[in-house]
Structure 1
Amino acid sequence: MTSNYPPYYIPNGEKLLPCDPNTSAYSAPSYYLSIQVYAEAGGEEDPRKNKKKEKKEKKEKTHKKKPKKRIDFTIGFYDVFVLLTYLMKYHTKAIRKKKRPLTKWECPPRGRLKINIDGAFRSESGTGGIGVVVRDDLGIGLVVIARPFLQAHSAINMEAEACRDGLLLGIHQGWTNIDIESDSALLIAALKSKEENLSEVSRILDDCRDYMSAFQYVRARHAYREANGVTHRLAHLASLFSINDVWLDETPAIIQDVLY
Structure 2
Amino acid sequence: MVWLGEKSGEYSVRSGYREARKAWLIWTQRNAIIHGKQLLAHNVLNKREEDYMEEFRSAQSRLATNSLSLNQISWRPPPLTCFKLNFDATIFKDEEASGIGAIIRNDRGEVMVAFSSKGPLVSCSKEAEILACWCVVEFALVCGFMEMVVEGDNQLIMSPLELKRSLKSRVGHIIQDVLCFLHGFRWSQVQFAKRSANTVVHLLARHAKNLVHDVIWMEESPPPMMQALYHDAISI
Structure 2 counterpart of 1:174, one-letter code: G
Say which structure, 1 or 2, has more relative contact order (CA 8 Å, 6+ apart): 2
Distance 2:102 2:192 in 1: 15
Deviation, structure 1 residue 101:
3.4
Distance 2:77 2:166 in 1: 33
Residue by residue over 1:53-103, the C-alpha shift from the partner in whole angstroms, topping out at 9 and shown as x without a partner, is xxxxxxxxxxxxxxxxxxxxxxxxxxxxxxxxxxxxxxxxxxxxxx99331
Distance 1:154 1:242 in 2: 22
Q: Does 1:221 align with 2:195?
A: no
Deviation, structure 1 residue 121:
1.5
Partner residue in 2 for 1:55: none
| Superposition pairs of residues 239-250 of structure 1, within 5 angstroms | 239=209, 241-242=211-212, 244-250=214-220
Q: Which moved more, 1:190-199 or 1:137-146?
A: 190-199
Q: Does 1:144 align with 2:96?
A: no
The 8 Å contact of residues 127 and 171 in structure 2, kept in 1 or not, is answered as yes
Q: Does 1:134 align with 2:104?
A: yes
The 8 Å contact of residues 237 and 243 in structure 1, kept in 2 or not, is answered as no
Name the SS for the 1:160 alignment partner.
helix
Distance 2:140 2:77 in 1: 17
Partner residue in 1 for 2:153: 183
Distance 1:195 1:208 in 2: 11
Distance 1:138 1:195 in 2: 31
Normalising to structure 1: TM-score of the pair? 0.58
The 8 Å contact of residues 93 and 121 in structure 2, kept in 1 or not, is answered as no
Distance 1:195 1:108 in 2: 23
Partner residue in 1 for 2:83: 113
Residue by residue over 1:104-157, the C-alpha shift from the partner in whole angstroms, topping out at 9 and shown as x without a partner, is 111111110000010101345442111010000111001011111122221112
Partner residue in 1 for 2:134: 164
| Superposition pairs of residues 37-48 of structure 1, within 5 angstroms | none
Q: RMSD between aligned alpha carbons?
A: 2.1
The 8 Å contact of residues 77 and 108 in structure 2, kept in 1 or not, is answered as yes
Alpha carbons of 1:242 and 1:222: their partners in 2 closer, same or farther (altered >3 Å)?
farther
Q: Which runs of 5+ in 1 are unaligned?
A: 1-98
Name the SS for the 1:143 alignment partner.
strand
Structure 2 counterpart of 1:161, one-letter code: L
Normalising to structure 2: TM-score of the pair? 0.63
Name the SS for the 1:101 alignment partner.
helix
Structure 1 counterpart of 2:141, one-letter code: I
Distance 1:169 1:122 in 2: 23
Distance 1:198 1:242 in 2: 35
Residue by residue over 1:182-227, the C-alpha shift from the partner in whole angstroms, topping out at 9 and shown as x without a partner, is 1111111121345542322222211101000111211111111111
Structure 2 counterpart of 1:204, one-letter code: I
Partner residue in 2 for 1:154: 124
Deviation, structure 1 residue 166:
2.1
Alpha carbons of 1:218 and 1:196: their partners in 2 closer, same or farther (altered >3 Å)?
closer
Distance 1:196 1:139 in 2: 31
Distance 1:204 1:119 in 2: 15
Deviation, structure 1 residue 243:
5.7
Distance 2:138 2:166 in 1: 22
Partner residue in 2 for 1:101: 69
Distance 1:239 1:204 in 2: 24
The 8 Å contact of residues 146 and 243 in structure 1, kept in 2 or not, is answered as no
Q: Which runs of 5+ in 2 are unaligned?
A: 1-65
Q: Which protein is richer in helix relative to its size?
A: 2
Distance 1:111 1:193 in 2: 24
Instruction: Determine which structure has more spread, i.e. the larger CA radius of gyration.
Output: 1
